[in-house]
Amino acid sequence: MLTITATQLLAHAIGDYLLQSHWMATEKTKRSIAALVHVTFYAVPFLLLFRGMSWTALFVIVSTHFVIDRWRLARFVCWGKNFLNPTVSNLSWRECAATGFSPDTPVWLATWLLIFVDNIIHVIINGIALKYL
């Protein structure tokens, strides 16, 4: 069974929030160099807090973080959830591309839900990498 530890959550929070500059946050979905700089800083707390971590686990954590953030893949998960609700399942990607949510969803809510989904995806992948690799 996968267990998410407080240390793992701390490493994720430090790397994804404390060490991410405004430039990284605003440019990582537009420019690969910004996403690359972000994941380099994101790796630092994992290197410090998980000294026995394998290089394979670190590679999985960093590379998936790069791909997910660079192309904001959490939007697709949010959009896919629409199909669980028959009243909104007919929304096209074009209508929902910004956050994955219906344009009727308040911007603040769609943004926060997207952030939560993004974080949950990262934490699950990190947990799997740390435990099994």
- 9-59 pLDDT per residue, tens: 999 999 999 999 999 999 999 999 999 999 999 999 999 999 999 999 999
Token pair for 132: 């099994």
Average pLDDT of the chain to the nearest whole number: 95
The per-residue DSSP string of the chain comes to -----HHHHHHHHIIIIIT--HHHHHHTTT-HHHHHHHHHHHHHHHHHH-TT--HHHHHHHHHHHHHHHHTTTHHHHHHHHGGGSTTTTT--HHHHTTTSS-TTS-HHHHHHHHHHHHHHHHHHHHHHHHHH-
Residue with the two structure tokens 């939007």: 75
Average pLDDT of span 102-110: 94
What does the domain layout of the chain look like in residue ranges? 6-132
pLDDT band at 89 (very low <50, low <70, confident <90, very high): low
Long-range pairs for 85-91: beta carbons < 8 A, 24 or more residues apart: none
